[in-house]
């Protein structure tokens, strides 16, 4: 007696689009372990969760890099502004230094 085969039609891998019935034995509701709709759904959800987690991790790395770049830029501007302030006692330079300090307080 031959076992019942899975009812999923699968691509045969040839050049032309043709399909054949899955050769695995049906274990539940006429489906094999691979092609059972609940098993496929579970695998898809696990894959999506993995990709979401990888994306979140990648975004965290990029956010940290952007923050570091902003801090470096602000630090360079702060040093330049304070250097100008030391060299000159003009009102406009002092105001510029204050603006840079205000911007730097957001990130430092």
Considering only CA atoms, which of 5, 45, 47 is closest in space to residue 26?
A: 5
pLDDT (0 to 100) of residue 65: 94
- 42 half-sphere exposure, CB direction, 13 A CA radius: 7
89, 104 contact by CB (below 8 A):
no
Residues of the chain with confidence (pLDDT) below 50: none
pLDDT (0 to 100) of residue 79: 75
Residue 107: which residues within 8 A CB-CB, separation 6 or more? 67, 70, 71, 74
Residue 6: which residues within 8 A CB-CB, separation 6 or more? 21, 22, 23, 24, 25, 26, 30, 31, 32, 34, 35
Give φ, ψ of 7 to 5 degrees. Answer: -90, 10
pLDDT (0 to 100) of residue 75: 81
For residues 104 and 94, give the distance between their C-alpha atoms in angstroms, rounded to a whole number: 15
pLDDT (0 to 100) of residue 13: 79
């Amino acid at each position: 007696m031959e076992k019942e085969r899975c009812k999923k039609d699968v691509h045969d891998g040839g050049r032309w689009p043709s399909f054949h019935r899955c050769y695995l034995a049906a274990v539940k509701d006429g489906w094999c372990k691979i092609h059972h709709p609940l098993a496929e759904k579970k695998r898809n959800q696990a894959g999506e969760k993995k990709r979401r987690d990888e994306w979140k991790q990648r975004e965290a790395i990029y956010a940290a890099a952007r923050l570091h770049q902003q801090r470096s830029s602000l630090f360079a501007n702060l040093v330049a502004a304070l250097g100008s302030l030391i060299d000159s006692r003009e009102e406009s330079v002092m105001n510029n230094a204050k603006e840079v300090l205000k911007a730097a307080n957001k990130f430092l």
